[in-house]
Amino acid sequence: MPRSLLPLLTLLFLSWPTLLPAGGETVYQTPEAFLEQQFPDGVPEPDVVWLRGEVRETVKDILGHRYPSLRIRYWHKDGRSAWILDEIGKDLPITTGILVNAGRIEALRVLIFRESRGWEVRHEFFTDQFDQARLNEGHKLDRHIDNISGATLSVRAVTKLARLALYLDQWIRDDTQD
Amino acid sequence: MSRQHRRHQRLKLKSLYVWHRYIGLTAALFVLILAVTGLLLNHTERFAFDSRHVHNDWVLDWYGIEAPERYTSYALEGDHITLFGRHLYHNLHELEGEHEGLIGALRVGDLVVVAVDREILLLMGDGELVERLGGSEGVPSGMRRLGLDSDGALVVEGGHAYYQPDADFIRWRHWEGDPDTVTWTQADTLPDKLYEELVEHYRGEVLPVERVLLDLHSGRILGRHGYLVMDIAAVLLIALALSGSLIWLRRRR
């Protein structure tokens, strides 16, 4: 190995911990910026869906536990609805922004990541798998989502949130038609 | 080999036996502690030792865990919202998250409104979280106090102005009324019984079982230099292994 490379390698070795995402909250995109991106003509006024009765039970089935709050805020316009949802990967919530258009996912972004592992779910190679995904029987996605080694819990959490957003979008559309 | 030499060898072996026995007896207690705690630590996730907490007063006292002397509490017609350390309670029910400061709490219709740090928590009467509202949901920055106007609607004093949400807490607007007509919330003292129950609850939520197992395993439960005791135990175990091997080798001869 050429000796001239030694200082460079030493520097790389010393800076390695700073190249890895440290524990703590990392904001990749603020929820406001996500909404502005999805609704470039102006973010609509928010509305809320209350998790009561049947909705509450179905949400519990999808997540495997109760959602931490009794109501969820969403933004909708021209058949498109945007959801900012939280789900715990291992210990801390992952905040995800999901845009649903006519029952299919149009955009999914990991907005805020707080865990020390599993941050790979923010990459497009992962989130692109949800593009145009929709729900089928049993509130499951119509496709298989590939796991990321070492990020299994984060993958599960984001997949659950995708199912949750699709279910809630379906519910508000059915509710509006009624 | 002479008779005398054989006798000398037997005496040496007997002496090694005696040492091996005493070292074994001394190390037995440490072996038990190390083996049991090590076994349990290997299954931390299965038994949720990282999320279960120690409630035993003796252990909590040993660790010097005490409840904070100061707290902030607001009384709401028989219910109490209390910030104890960084833990927020609705009566005895602990709410999720950690908080620096409790700004105020009051009842608006069926909802309990709690202002903490830069957030407003909307709760049902039984303490169940309805929604957590932050800056992106329109909550004014620099909240100072909460109150009810003459119509019984919420008013929040922000850093520079007064604000009021709509009935669903979705949209916020400037409030232009007279602040002197607002009934602002006042912090209150807790009833003695509830205070004592909160102290007990607080202490029981601080020390994870995993911490105690790790400290037992490393010896640090005995204090800063407790690890030296386990170092000695490790040396004893090494001596035990060596003396055992030596005895086996000599008996083979």
> pLDDT tens-digit profile of B23-41?
888 888 888 998 999 999 9
> pLDDT tens-digit profile of B116-159?
988 999 999 888 999 999 888 889 989 999 999 999 999 999 98
Chain A with chain B: Cβ pairs closer than 8 A: 27
Q: Say if the Cβ atoms of B130 and A32 lie within 8 Å.
A: no
At B13 the pLDDT is 73
Residue A46 placed within a domain: yes
At A91 the pLDDT is 82
Residue A32 placed within a domain: yes
At B85 the pLDDT is 85
pLDDT category at A21 given cuts 50, 70, 90 is very low
Write down how long chain B is: 253
Residues of chain A above pLDDT 70, percent:
85
- Count the domains in chain A: 1
At A178 the pLDDT is 57
Q: Are B2 and B8 in contact (CB under 8 A)?
A: no
At A20 the pLDDT is 42
Mean pLDDT for chain B? 88
Residue A1 placed within a domain: no
* List of chain B residues whose C-beta atoms are within 8 Å of the C-beta of residue A71: 130-131
Q: What is the mean pLDDT of residues B225-242?
A: 87
Q: Side chain identity at A74, as an amino acid letter?
A: Y
Write down how long chain A is: 178
The sign one gets for the Cα dihedral A86, A154, A126, A30 is positive
Residue A14 placed within a domain: no
Q: Which residues in A22-165 belong to E strands, given as ranges?
A: 26-27, 46-50, 71-77, 80-88, 93-101, 104-113, 135-136, 140-141
Q: How far is A12 from chain B (nearest CA, A)?
A: 34
User: Which are the contacts of A109, defined by CB distance < 8 A and separation ≥ 6?
Assistant: A28, A29, A34, A96, A97, A98, A122, A127
Q: How far is A3 from chain B (nearest CA, A)?
A: 42
> pLDDT tens-digit profile of A80-113?
999 999 999 888 899 999 999 999 999 999 999 9
At A158 the pLDDT is 95
> pLDDT tens-digit profile of B190-216?
898 999 888 888 888 778 899 999 999
Answer whether residue A9 shows pLDDT above 90: no
Residue A59 placed within a domain: yes
User: Which are the contacts of B141, defined by CB distance < 8 A and separation ≥ 6?
Assistant: B118, B135, B158, B159
B interface with A, Cβ–Cβ < 8 A, is 96, 124, 128-132, 136-137, 168, 170-171
Answer whether residue A7 shows pLDDT above 60: no
Residue of B170, B171, B173, B210 to mutate, testing the A interface (most A Cβ within 10 Å of its Cβ): B170
pLDDT category at A6 given cuts 50, 70, 90 is low
Residues of chain B above pLDDT 90, percent:
36
| Pairwise CA distance, residues A49 & A171, whole Å | 9
- Is pLDDT larger for residue B74 or for residue A13? B74
Residue A115 placed within a domain: yes
Domain that holds residue A45: 26-177
Residue A4 placed within a domain: no
Residue A88 placed within a domain: yes
Q: What is the mean pLDDT of residues A20-44?
A: 85
Helix B227-252 with B3-41: angle, nearest 10 deg: 140
